[in-house]
Structure formats: C-alpha cells, structure tokens
Amino acid sequence: MKHLFLIFTFFSASYTLLAQSYSISGSIKDSTTGETLLGATIYDKQSGKGAVTNEYGFFSLTLREGEHTLIISYLGYEDIIQNIDLTESKKINIELKPVSNNLDEVIITTNTNNKSQTGNIIAGSINLKPQDIKKLPALLGEPDVTRAMLTQAGVSSVGEGTSGFNVRGGNIDQNLILLDEAPIYNSSHVWGFFSIFNSDAIKDMKLYKGGIPARYGGRASSVLDIRQREGSNKQFKGEGGLGLLFSRLTLEGPIKKDKLSYLVSGRRSYFDLAFPLIKSLKGNKVYFYDLNAKLSWDINEKNKLFASGYFGADVMKLKFDDTDEDQQNTQQNTNESINFSWKNSTATIRWNHIFSERLFMNLSGVFSRYNYSLSSENSSGGPAGSASNFTWKSAVENWILKPDFTFFQNTETKIRFGVNSTLYRFTPAKITGNDTSINTVNFGTEKGLEIAPYVSYEKKLNKFSANIGLRYSWFGNLGPKKVSFYDAQVPQTVSSITGSRSYKSNEVIKNYHGFEPRLALKYDLNNRKAIKLGYNRMFQYIHLISNSYSTLPFDIWKPAGYHIKPLEVNQISAGYAYDTPNRKYNFSVEGYYKTFKNLVEYKNGADLFLNENLETQLLTAKGYSYGLELSGYKTKGKLTGNANYTYSVTKRKTTSSFNSENINSGNYYPSNYDRPHIFNITSNYALSKKWSVGAFFTYQTGRPTTYATGKFEVGGNQFFTYSDRNAFRLKPTHRLDISFTYTPKKKANRRWSGNWVFGVYNVYSHKNPFSVYSSVRNNQLKTFQYSVIGAPVPFITYNFKF
Amino acid sequence: MKSIYIKIITGSLLIFCIISCTKEISLDVTHEPQTIIFGSISNETVPVSIRIQQSVPLQDSSSSKPVNDASVSLYAKDTSGNTNLITNDFAINQGIYTSTQSISTIIGYSYWIEVRLTDGTLFKSKEELLKPVVLIKNTGIKNGDVLEIEFSDPGDDTNFYKFTVELFNEGQLVSSNTSQSNDVVFNGKESASVEVDLFRLQDDDEDITVLYDEIKVTFCNINFSSYQFYLNQSLQLEANDSESSGDPSQLFATPPVNLLGNITNSSSNTVVLGNFTVNSLSTVNQPVSN
C-alpha cells in the first residue's frame, strides 16, 4: 500500500511540474463552530474553475500559476472573496460565517443552492440539511428524517406509521442507510412512527436514488448517507427541544480549542409518563431513547481522527393482568408480563489523511449491530405454544473496514478508489427458558463476508461531465451451518428434504460475485440547464424476510447462500435539470426503468416463525419498476418550498418451476407499496422576523390490497375466500400538516435563544385508509377500514440554543 | 391464543388508539364460486367424512352451497409403495360424504382422496403419512381458562401437532377451540407441553360465561402441509374474532391468505381451498364438576 501512495504522490508532483499548475487544498469550515461544511464551493473567478468539498469537508483545486480571485460559498453562509497569488501548492483552511438571524431581511442571498440539480453529475440525488427537516410540520413536533425523505419525489411508503421508506420500487431492505458510514438495520422507533435519527446531531443527508457511485454497495435500490456533526471546536454550545412527548439535548464544545471537540446528543420519549393514569396501561412502560456521540481530533494539517457512535433503543415492558376485579377472590392472577426491546448500536473510527494536495484518504473502521430481545413470564402465544418463561435474542452484526482514496488529478479529473470489506454475522434466534418443557434453541450464527474493490473516474470536459465507476463484489456465505437438500421434483418443504450437509466454521458454503458498473453522464446546455443519464447495477447479498404489510423489528435478515440467491438490480435513468435565470427556482424531470432479479417473496400462508428451513417458505421473484419524477424548488425569498409529482409502477412475479406455489398463478402483480400517483407540496413562508408558517400536503394513490370475495363454512365457523394478492386498491390518501414558528428577538449579550413551534398534523382530520378487513361478528359479516391516524394531532415544541 | 407479537404491538401502541380510527364500510367485489373440500382420516376405526361445498358471495344469506353430485375415492399406500383403493362408497347428505363402512388404518401407511365433479374436474389430496400416535400424558386447567396438554415429544422426528379442546354441557358441544405447534422448542422433551385457550371468545365476549360438564381433548400428530393449513386457518379465525375498532395490530397484519391446503385441482394444476388431513390422534375425555 505504501508503494501505491508513493506512486500517486510522484504522479501528482510530476503533473504539477508539467502543467505549471499548483493545487489549493484544504477544508471549508463554519467560523463559529469549526464544523466542516460538506458540499461548499470554491470558485476561481478568472478561470471559471471550481471545486466542491467532499463528504469529509476536503477540497482540492488545481489552478495555473498567478493571481486568482477565489469565491467561497455555502448555503446559509456569507460568501468570502479571497485573492491569492499562486506560486506553489497551498493548503488553506477557510472559515465561513453563518448568515445572521438578526439581518433585517429574512432572505438568503448566497449564490449556492443545494437544491439545484444542474451542478451535480448524478441524476436522482437529493440533499437535505437538518434545517430542511426542522422546517417541516412533524408528527407530535419531532423533526423526522424518514418523514422528510417521504416528502421527496420517488420516495414512498406502505402507509402512515410504517417503518422505513421505499425508493423507486425497492423494498425497504434495499436502502443502504449509513450513519457516519455505519449501516443501520432498523431506522425506526415506536414500530415505524418515528425515525431513529436525532436531527440535532446531524450535519448532512444525501439520498441517492439512481446513478449510485461505485463506492456504495451492498443494497440494491438507494443510499441514504447521513453524516453526524463534529461538535464545535471553538466554544461550548448547547441546543435542544422540549416537546409534549419527546425532549432532546445536544452539548458540544472544545476539549482543546481548534484541535479536539466533542458532541453528545440525547433524546428520550416520555409518553409512558401518562400510563399510570390510564387503567389499561398501568404498570406498562413504552419509551425510546437514543444517544449520539462524536469526538473529532484535528491532529495536524494532514491528519484528522474521528470517533463517533450511536446507541438507541425502544423499550417495552408490558403487563397483562387477566384478573377480573369482581372475581379477585375466586380467580387466580396470571401476572403475564412481556419485556421487549430492540436496539441499534454503531461505532465508527475514521482517519482522514492528506498524502499530498491531490491525494486524500479516509480510512474507516465500522461496527454496527441491531439486536432485539424478548423475554416473557407466564405468557402464552410464544415460541413454546405454552405459557412459559423464556428469553429470545436475535442480532445482526457488521464489522467493516473501508479504505477510500480520492486523487484529484486536476480540477477536471478526480479518481476515487478503495475497498469495502464487510463481515456479516446473523444470529436469527437464541431461546433459553427456565421452564423444563423448553429446550435451549440456537439456530447458530450465520456468517457472510463481502469484499468489494471499486474505482470511479470523474471527468469534466467543457460542457460534458462523466462519472464512470466499476465495483466488483464477492460474497461468501460461511459456515458453520447445516444445509438441507431437497427433492428437485417437488416444491421445497420440510417433507421434501432428502439430506443435509454440515459445513465447518468459516467454510465457504456458497459464493457469489459480479461486476457492478456505474455510470453518470451530464451535458450542460448552459450554466442553468443540463441533461443527465445514469446507469447502475447493484448486488444485494442480504434479504429482509417479512410477510407483513409493514416490516417488524423481529423480521429476519437472511444472507444469500446455498438456496437463496443475491438480488440484482439494474437501473437506467435520465433527467433534465433547469434553474431559472435568477436561480430562485430549480426544476428537474427524471425518468427511470429498473429491473429486479432474485427478489425474495414469501409463499401464501408462509410460516416464518422459528423456521430453520426458511427457504421452504420463500419463492424467487423478478420484477420491474418505472417512473417519472417532476420536482420544483424555490429556495430564495420569503416563500420557499418544494412541489413534486411522481408517477411510478412497481410489479413483480414469482418464478417457481412449480406453478401450484406461484403467487397469483405466476402473473405479475403490484408490490405492497405500488402507488402510481404521488403529489407532495412543502412550503415555508416567513411572515415576519418573528413568525413563519410551514405546511405540507400530500396526495397518494391508495396502496394495493387483497379483499375477501366470498365465504364458506367449516365446523360452524365462517371463512373467506380472497382475491389474488394485491388485486384491489385502497382509496387514495391525502393529508395536510401545518406548523407555526415563533422566534422571539434574541436579547443582546445573552447566549440563549429559542423558538416555539406549534401546529397540527392531519389538519382536516382525513381518515386515510391503511387497511380494509372483513370479520364475522355474531354471524354478521362486516367490513372495516382502519386508519392509523384518523384525527388532527396538535403539537407544541420549544427549541433552544445557548 | 393471541400471538405474543400481537400482544406486544397492541399493548405498546394503545396510546395511538386515541388518534387511530376504524369505520365500517361496504365492499363491492365480484364473486367467483370456488370448490372447497374438507376431510380427515385418523388411526381410529370410524367412518371417514369429507365435506364438499362451493363458496357463496359475501352478502349471501346462506353460508355455503353443498355439492352433492361428486364422486369420492379414498386410497392408501403401504410401506412397500403398493396403492389400494380403500373405498369409494360414500353416503351423501348436504355435501357431507360419509363412508358407509368404518375405515381401519395402519400407522406408517399413506392416505389420500380423489374427488371428481360431474364436469370432470378432478381433485386429489397429497399423500400424507399416518404418523405414530403421540399420547397425551396429562391435561390440566390453568388460571381457569387455559388448558395445558402434557406429552412426550419424539426426538427422532420433526413433529407437528394440532390440538383441540371441546367443551360439552349435558352432551351438547358448547365450545371448541383448536391450536397447533411445531416441536422446535421442545423437540425430544420427555415432559413437553402445549396450551390452548379453553374458550374461543371474541374480544368483547369476556363477560360471557360458558357452562360445561365435560372436556374432550384431541391431540393429533400431523404432517407439515396440514400443519401449515391449520396455522392459516387459526390466523383467519383470529382475524375474524379480532376487535372491530382501533386495533393497531392491523399495521403489521399479514396479508390475508386463502385456506389452501394439500388438495390440487389436477386439471388446472392449482392448489384449491380445503384440506384432507391424516391424523394420528390421542384423546382424553374428562368430566368436570362446576
């Protein structure tokens, strides 16, 4: 590796001499906190050349020898104009000052605009800042990353309150969600009502829907790259929020000024505080909490070290007391209790090293773990089929090492390369009981190793820009594991097992590999209009096995292996981006076509519960998705906002060679989240220096569903016949949320500032259908429509900074 | 018996019931009649019954339409693979086909039925093995409403159980409830046990008192395909019995599935509604003093 660095350093130096050009490199930071600014631009007025800081805040700009006027800008910050006489390569660290809240006009005047799609080569990427999320009216007043994603074109969900999001026809397990480079396996609190990301701890979010760069892999449909803040290295600061059901607090500051900083951010819900007042909830506890922490050490000009972590949990302690108060003397109290929790834990250590003005390295070591634990006392309905005391544990772990290099050959050419190595460990179920009727059940730990070297080449030639990437991924499913073999002449069931083989620890059971080409092309019609083309192939070596409408915390992650193949997705996309002459408005149109190979579908009536032969319950499927996304932003002035419309179709079909087990007789059917028409409007209006109003409206086609179509009777019970899977659609859904923000004038010489946010979620109380189901009550058949939120939900939050 | 997961979801999301909402609606869907076949055979020497019916529209006043003109044949295969027609002599009454003679069976043999409709459509159930009987060792009532069944689980086989509790009062059946379990967590246990709710009550029926003077417990060792069928039947019954308003478990409900079992329409090569179960059963009858 050392030789490789020397070659690049030499190459970099030689190039400099030949071209008589010099590099300016460094980082761009917030002057008040020392926080690096991602996506900030540095632009040379004379040559028209520019560079953008990468996701680590680093830039490199190569210019000819001589005098230059540099303009450095970033949305929400005052521009800096800096003259420089370039006679040698230089390192400069630039600090930008945030636009003051006390300016007379609440109007942002900067030239940079993170919503414009004309500058970005990649079609289908969305950049969101925490302030974008905080402007949105939120359920119960809690700013929410997932809900913010759902306001964007091409992003949908099964319905209100469900976990995660779907991007361009992909399942939620096809989203690679990274928090400081650590993959997150369950991004939801409270079953899906809230996301696990604390907006106060976040610096930047980028969602890639198409043209996904080669450095990302492992998931097939999208990447949500979330970066945590580093914490101020200038002075101690704090911020937080007090809500009716949540509170959050963030503290940050220097341990050693300008060198070493920390950030600690915590959040906890307390809606269970009211439980003692409600008879049916007495003695129960339901809450979540999370903690983000980061240490940033600016060792010297060439080296920076970051250590960050996240820990979050949902905790449920439920008591089911069957005792009838009137019969307390005659009936025994069952004292059934269930403790359930799920947790995400991540730890990231990153080392940024600048080998030269042109060669930058980030080396990351990442650990990520998702686990849940279920313990019960006297609870029936558990794994034993009997009331028993047991503890059930399950976990998914990742150990990741990622060296990533960026070589800035010149201002127009950038080469990025590295290797992603991931060790997966899956522990589907470990059950222990103190009841003699229960065995200790241990399905063992299934392992997988993914190694993916990649290289991408980014080039700008006048009006033409290209980002060409190639990733090669290899995945091995490793032992120890017992693999069952099945009679190939009949469908796979536990009855058709013909034999098995036990694989030793770390023995490769099955491996898969392939090239994943990535391509993004852009042609600038002028500096405000661009057309784009993108292509990406992605392999996904792990699957989330779920058979419910919304995924559950106890759904099973399963690696590709002997019986289950990796998912392969190919996507081609094209777009047109347009900024108005005054750049107040940014528009984009994007279309895509996507194919899915080796999707995993569950069989009708699949039994996924504690099933060691899970493959017997699954079918392989293929699918396609296509769509058109129209989006417009207004980012300047008193009125800002976004309107977008998405037309999309997502279908799939199972491909079993035994047609009797195919879903819908092997015909294409819409996925659970196929919602052809989605229209969203987000807007904010600054009424005055103190008051602003925000609103969000959404209209969406109802999701596909399965209805009862007939009935029959067996043993005195009525049963239903059902339509094909997803043969019908629920009614369309729509909702309006509104919020008001009151920001009192900050008192002079006081650090404390605050604002009040209050509003209503689902203003006009629309009862959006989530599901329709039929049941028999007293021999009467009835059909019901269930709405997760069928009432206006008011909220109030006080946010503060000091 | 509600799944522990449903309990967790409903218990933890009770607070969201305040803002959720359920309303009754009407559905206008087209109904296509389907043939449904239910039957079973066991290690007991008794006549075999098979019920054949057609589904009816949701709004229909009747709950089923009997099929009285089919022909039914019962087959067996011995351990050497020889196939024998056991009987095709069935008496028909309101879609229920009862063999005119008691059928004696042999553990280790496989059994199946063939049903032919007058239009020539042929249905055939999967050949299912009559597995060894797993005897009930003991039964007991816990907390007044849960029946515990104790047995020894054979360790040399993957077992699937269906267990039914029937309550009788003065000879009349007043309540029946069925549950099922695989043996993953008690495989090979000498002292394994399963539980079933004594009464199958709807969520708002908790105040109803069921009087009974006799309990009959039936414990069946069944094949995997039938186990999966009964699992889905229980899920549909549970869904039918669930509370009609504000149930947050709807969020995570499994999409409903047809009760497809082990019977295939040979003409179209599709699995049809219903099941023919081969049961190895053990029963216990016990009087109860109220």
pLDDT at A7 over 70: no
Chain A: nearest CA to B22, how far in angstroms? 4
Q: Does B46 reside within a domain? A: yes
Answer with the residue of higher pLDDT: A764 or B267.
A764
Closest Cβ opposite residue A332 in set B16, B143, B191: B143
Answer with the residue of higher pLDDT: A438 or A420.
A420
Look at residue A4 in the predicted model and tell me its pLDDT: 47
Provide the 8-state DSSP code for A707. Answer: -
Range of the domain at B153: 32-245+259-287
For residue A334, the chain B residues in CB contact (below 8 A) are 143
Look at residue A110 in the predicted model and tell me its pLDDT: 42
What is the rounded distance in angstroms from the CA atom of residue A430 to the CA atom of residue A440? 7
Chain A: nearest CA to B258, how far in angstroms? 6
User: For residue A100, what pLDDT band results from cuts at 50, 70 and 90?
Assistant: low
Q: Does B117 reside within a domain? A: yes
Share of chain B above pLDDT 90, in %: 52
Best B252, B263, B271 member to test A by mutation, with max A CBs in 10 Å, is B252
Which H or E element spans position A6?
A: helix A2-19
Question: Average pLDDT in the A448-463 region?
Answer: 95
State the average pLDDT for chain B. Answer: 87
Express each pLDDT in A759-795 by its tens digit.
999 999 999 998 888 887 766 788 888 888 888 999 9
User: Which range has the worst mean pLDDT, A59-68, A313-322, A475-484, B267-276?
Assistant: A313-322
For residue A547, the chain B residues in CB contact (below 8 A) are 254-255
Class of residue A6 by CB neighbours under 10 A (exposed 0-12, middle 13-18, buried 19+): exposed
For residue A776, the chain B residues in CB contact (below 8 A) are 240
Phi, psi of B238 (to 5 degrees): -65, -40
CA atoms within 13 A on the CB side of A49: 17
CA atoms within 13 A on the CB side of A752: 2
User: For residue A323, what pLDDT band results from cuts at 50, 70 and 90?
Assistant: low
Q: How far is the CA of A213 from the CAs of A168, A225, A417, A517, in angstroms?
A: 17, 12, 11, 9
What is the rounded distance in angstroms from the CA atom of residue A591 to the CA atom of residue A647? 9
Chain A to chain B, count of Cβ pairs less than 8 Å apart?
A: 283
For residue A431, the chain B residues in CB contact (below 8 A) are 185
Look at residue B15 in the predicted model and tell me its pLDDT: 66
Chain A: nearest CA to B88, how far in angstroms? 23
* Tokens, residue B192: 């394994």
Residue of B nearest to A271 (CA): B15
Question: Average pLDDT in the A718-727 region?
Answer: 92
CB-CB contact of A775 with A120 (8 Å): no
Residue of B nearest to A765 (CA): B19
Q: How far is the CA of A521 from the CAs of A574, B97, B205, in angstroms?
A: 9, 70, 65
Best B32, B51, B164, B186 member to test A by mutation, with max A CBs in 10 Å, is B186
Look at residue A337 in the predicted model and tell me its pLDDT: 81
Chain B: nearest CA to A243, how far in angstroms? 17
State the pairing for strand pair A175-179/A222-228: parallel
Answer with the residue of higher pLDDT: A327 or A454.
A454
Closest Cβ opposite residue B143 in set A322, A716, A726: A322
Across the interface, do A786 and B252 touch by the CB < 8 Å criterion? no
For residue A338, the chain B residues in CB contact (below 8 A) are 4, 7-8, 11
What is the rounded distance in angstroms from the CA atom of residue A49 to the CA atom of residue A22? 13
Residue of A nearest to B65 (CA): A712
ω into A213 cis (within 30 of 0): no
CB atoms within 10 A of CB A66: 13
Tell me the H-state helices in chain B. 4-12, 224-241
Phi, psi of A220 (to 5 degrees): -95, -20
Look at residue A380 in the predicted model and tell me its pLDDT: 60
Across the interface, do A789 and B29 touch by the CB < 8 Å criterion? no
What is the rounded distance in angstroms from the CA atom of residue B96 to the CA atom of residue B70? 10
CB-CB contact of A215 with A206 (8 Å): no
Look at residue B6 in the predicted model and tell me its pLDDT: 67
Best A711, A729, A764, A768 member to test B by mutation, with max B CBs in 10 Å, is A711
Q: Which amino acid is at A760?
A: V
* Tokens, residue A296: 């940033």
Q: How far is the CA of A328 from the CAs of A332, A334, A359, in angstroms?
A: 7, 11, 76
pLDDT at A113 over 70: no
Q: Which amino acid is at B245?
A: S
Please identify which residue in the block is written with the tokens 């090979």.
Answer: B188
DSSP result, A356-372:
SSSEEEEEEEEEEEEEE
Express each pLDDT in A495-520 by its tens digit.
889 999 999 999 999 999 999 999 99
User: Does this complex have an ipTM over 0.90?
Assistant: yes
Chain B: nearest CA to A144, how far in angstroms? 18
pLDDT at B247 over 80: no
For residue B241, the chain A residues in CB contact (below 8 A) are 775
Best A244, A714, A785 member to test B by mutation, with max B CBs in 10 Å, is A714
Across the interface, do B250 and A771 touch by the CB < 8 Å criterion? yes
Across the interface, do B186 and A438 touch by the CB < 8 Å criterion? yes
Nearest alpha carbon to residue A172 among A180, A182, A159, A181: A159
CB-CB contact of A23 with A59 (8 Å): no
DSSP result, A567-593:
EEEEEEEEEEEEE-TTSSEEEEEEEEE
Beta bridge partners of A239: A250, A801
Across the interface, do B244 and A725 touch by the CB < 8 Å criterion? no
Closest Cβ opposite residue A660 in set B193, B228, B271: B271
Chain B: nearest CA to A798, how far in angstroms? 23
Express each pLDDT in A608-639 by its tens digit.
777 888 899 999 999 999 999 999 999 888 99
Beta bridge partners of A421: A401, A451
Q: Does B198 reside within a domain? A: yes
For residue B26, the chain A residues in CB contact (below 8 A) are 783
The CATH number of A18-96 is: 2.60.40.10
pLDDT at A697 over 80: yes
For residue A721, the chain B residues in CB contact (below 8 A) are 31, 34, 55, 258, 273
For residue B10, the chain A residues in CB contact (below 8 A) are none
Q: Does B18 reside within a domain? A: no
- A18-96 and A125-801 agree in CATH topology: no
pLDDT at B246 over 50: no
For residue A718, the chain B residues in CB contact (below 8 A) are 63, 240
Across the interface, do B12 and A281 touch by the CB < 8 Å criterion? no
Q: How far is the CA of A668 from the CAs of A69, A625, A784, B19, B270, in angstroms?
A: 59, 12, 28, 36, 17
For residue B123, the chain A residues in CB contact (below 8 A) are none
Looking at the structure of chain B, the number of domains it has is: 1
Q: How far is the CA of B220 from the CAs of A202, A423, A736, in angstroms?
A: 57, 44, 55
Question: Average pLDDT in the B72-77 region?
Answer: 97
Nearest alpha carbon to residue A114 among A202, A203, A38: A38
User: For residue B201, what pLDDT band results from cuts at 50, 70 and 90?
Assistant: low
Express each pLDDT in A144-202 by its tens digit.
898 999 999 999 999 887 888 999 999 999 999 999 999 999 999 988 888 999 999 99
Look at residue A265 in the predicted model and tell me its pLDDT: 96
For residue A717, the chain B residues in CB contact (below 8 A) are 237, 240
Name the CATH architecture for the domain at A125-801: Beta Barrel (2.40)
Residue of A nearest to B17 (CA): A788
Look at residue A632 in the predicted model and tell me its pLDDT: 95
Closest Cβ opposite residue A767 in set B2, B12, B21: B21
Across the interface, do A661 and B224 touch by the CB < 8 Å criterion? no
Across the interface, do A706 and B245 touch by the CB < 8 Å criterion? no
Q: Does B1 reside within a domain? A: no
Domain map (residue ranges) of chain A: 18-96, 125-801
Across the interface, do A708 and B36 touch by the CB < 8 Å criterion? no
For residue B142, the chain A residues in CB contact (below 8 A) are 387
What is the rounded distance in angstroms from the CA atom of residue A182 to the CA atom of residue A225? 9
State the average pLDDT for chain A. Answer: 88
User: For residue A15, what pLDDT band results from cuts at 50, 70 and 90?
Assistant: very low
User: Which residues, including other chains, have CB under 8 Å from residue A325's CB and lie 6 or more apart?
Assistant: none
Across the interface, do A775 and B64 touch by the CB < 8 Å criterion? no
Q: How far is the CA of A456 from the CAs of A10, A212, A453, A472, B53, in angstroms?
A: 21, 11, 11, 12, 64
Please identify which residue in the block is written with the tokens 């029959």.
Answer: A712
The model's pTM is 0.89
Q: Does B97 reside within a domain? A: yes
pLDDT at A543 over 60: yes
What is the rounded distance in angstroms from the CA atom of residue A762 to the CA atom of residue A790? 8
* Tokens, residue A766: 């629309």
Across the interface, do B253 and A549 touch by the CB < 8 Å criterion? yes
pLDDT at B89 over 70: yes
CB atoms within 10 A of CB A10: 11
User: Which range has the worst mean pLDDT, A36-40, A105-109, B183-187, B218-222?
Assistant: A105-109
pLDDT at A292 over 70: yes
Closest Cβ opposite residue B255 in set A390, A439, A549: A549
* Tokens, residue B70: 């089919």
Closest Cβ opposite residue B22 in set A381, A660, A784: A784
Residue of A nearest to B158 (CA): A494
User: Which range has the worst mean pLDDT, A91-95, A281-285, A390-394?
Assistant: A281-285
Answer with the residue of higher pLDDT: A550 or A452.
A452
What is the rounded distance in angstroms from the CA atom of residue B262 to the CA atom of residue B272? 8
CB-CB contact of A369 with A397 (8 Å): yes
Across the interface, do B29 and A728 touch by the CB < 8 Å criterion? yes
Closest Cβ opposite residue B257 in set A494, A715, A722: A722
Best A194, A386, A667 member to test B by mutation, with max B CBs in 10 Å, is A386
Chain A: nearest CA to B232, how far in angstroms? 6
User: Which residues, including other chains, have CB under 8 Å from residue B28's CB and lie 6 or more apart?
Assistant: none
Q: Which amino acid is at A566?
A: P
Q: Does B270 reside within a domain? A: yes
Look at residue B256 in the predicted model and tell me its pLDDT: 84
